[in-house]
Structure 1
């Protein structure tokens, strides 16, 4: 008896490579440590009229927070370089992130505001692409402004580019706030669409089969 293609189980497809999954989870740990140790450093000399609660900081005092911050910084930079190299090698960066247009962003943003944005595991919509590219640029800004703060004499040219030590601290804080906002939105989307989490662990998700039975 002939069985139609549409009646067959869709199976599972690979949606995330091992380098993407590995760097994602290392990044999650490293960013958490960077946020908390950075907030501890900030509290020692606040830029604005507030401080972060003690429970949200890492290290307990300025010296330990600084050690944590600089140690994890190298893990974060190495992890970021691994992600970029792997993404360039397997085409992930070009295929999944760089192929975005302004019109696509406006269309998907309108759909997201109406809660009608389609989501398929392993495929980034235009809003996601823009957010990921934006957070990569913020990460670069964090590294450069962080170096300007860390070595203001040795890297005085870089520090001057940011407008001086004090201005570099403000830029560093604003870039950190931008990354933190990305994390909040990212986690919120995972909570709203929880089926996106398992593929980031296993690398595979049910294959999408649209109406008509042909694999998409």
Structure 2
């Protein structure tokens, strides 16, 4: 008896065949709301920093140390204050929405946990030796997790210390938690300096991994 070719192989309809896995470049890394929130937060933070430097120069916290005027925004104290407060409201409202969506969607836990000092140290050493992989942009390494959580906390400190300076009489408890008005100014300046350092490091990392910028622009 002649065997029928492929008689023992079941036929799978075309519409039931498994689709090939999506290419790495076609997979969504950041949803639209994350990208919008990121860029609005970045805009607000940079405007606040540059205008804040102009406000600082009008009454330096550390005497003898001033910011070069060409690095500041506002042109004069009144103009800098207007830019500063406009950016502050953008940062506060957008930050609340951005953080709320991260919590409600579970993205904050999914993206940034678990995190441990050992993992941070391991990935930091790997980054210094050029052994840290950036193949999967949807996955944050421990150093990235720590840096992003740190800047979120730093922005919160910036807003609270700024509020203690701006509305010192209206929020006496907040002022005292900062150690008084003068200490609140120091806290505000130090938090701003840490944010500036984060921006510099962040831009350096983007320069090393340009695909991360594309992913934050187009989502993939």
Task: Give the alignment's TM-score, normalised by structure 1.
Answer: 0.88
- Which gives a bigger RCO, structure 1 or 2 (Cα 8 Å, sep 6+)? 1
Aligned residues: 200
| Deviation digits for residues 10-41 of structure 1 (CA, Å, limit 9, x no counterpart) | 56111101111001111221111101110010
Q: Which residue of the partner structure matches residue 102 of structure 1?
A: 117
Q: CA RMSD in A?
A: 1.8
Any unmatched runs of 5+ in structure 1?
A: 205-216
Any unmatched runs of 5+ in structure 2?
A: 1-18
Provide the rounded CA distance (Å) in 1 between the counterparts of 2:49 and 2:82.
13
Provide the rounded CA distance (Å) in 2 between the counterparts of 1:9 and 1:180.
36
Aligned positions of 1:110-189 closer than 5 A? 110-119=125-134, 120-189=136-205
Aligned positions of 1:58-77 closer than 5 A? 58-77=73-92
The partner residue of 1:34 within 45, 48, 68 is 48
Task: Give the alignment's TM-score, normalised by structure 2.
Answer: 0.86
Runs (4+) off by over 4 Å:
5-11
Moved more, 26-35 or 182-191: 26-35
**How far has the Cα of 1:98 moved from its partner?**
3.2
Question: Is 1:18 aligned to residue 36 of structure 2?
Answer: no
Provide the rounded CA distance (Å) in 2 between the counterparts of 1:18 and 1:9.
20
Larger Cα-atom Rg = 2
